Amino acid sequence: MAARDLFARSTWFRKALKFSELRHDRTYIISVPRGILPLDEIVTPEEGKDFPGTQGKAFKEFTTELAEQIKQSVPAGSELYFYVCNKIRRVTKILQTDYVCFEPTKGTKGIGEQLQKFNSEAEGGEAE
């Protein structure tokens, strides 16, 4: 399956993906533990199911590797927009010296408010 379909069962994911595609030149998916994935990359859903999760040393190593993947794929100085969970946002601290990082969903009051933001943009409204 294409990476864009990996999390397609999630309403939040589908709306965030559409939002990102409407607003940005290029969109990647961040998958624990796969890292960044182009939308059309072929993956199997079973890959990575044995990853220990988002805790401790393994996850810290993952965020460091993720930052390196981004540095190899995206030119320095680019603007990066992260529509991700709080733990993945940690990567922005690693990247902020080489990129301009934005976290549009940071500070929202949960998934409901984020979905409203995505819906507003999809309907032609202005998103902040």
Tell me the percentage of the chain whose pLDDT exceeds 70. 86
Global pTM reads 0.79
In a domain? residue 128: no
Taking the C-alpha atoms of residue 31 and residue 102, their distance in angstroms, rounded to an integer, is 19
Residue 38: asked if its preceding bond is cis (omega within 30°), the reply is: no
Q: In which domain, by residue range, is 18 found?
A: 3-44+51-122
In a domain? residue 116: yes
Residue 38: its H or E element: strand 35-38
Contacts of 24 (CB under 8 A, 6+ apart): 81
Answer yes or no: is pLDDT of 106 > 90.
no
In a domain? residue 109: yes
Answer yes or no: is pLDDT of 128 > 50.
no
What's the number of domains the chain is made of? 1
Q: How large is the average pLDDT for residues 58-77? A: 92
Encode pLDDT of 39-62 as tens digits. 999 988 765 555 556 667 888 888
In a domain? residue 127: no
Residue of higher predicted confidence among 7 and 123: 7
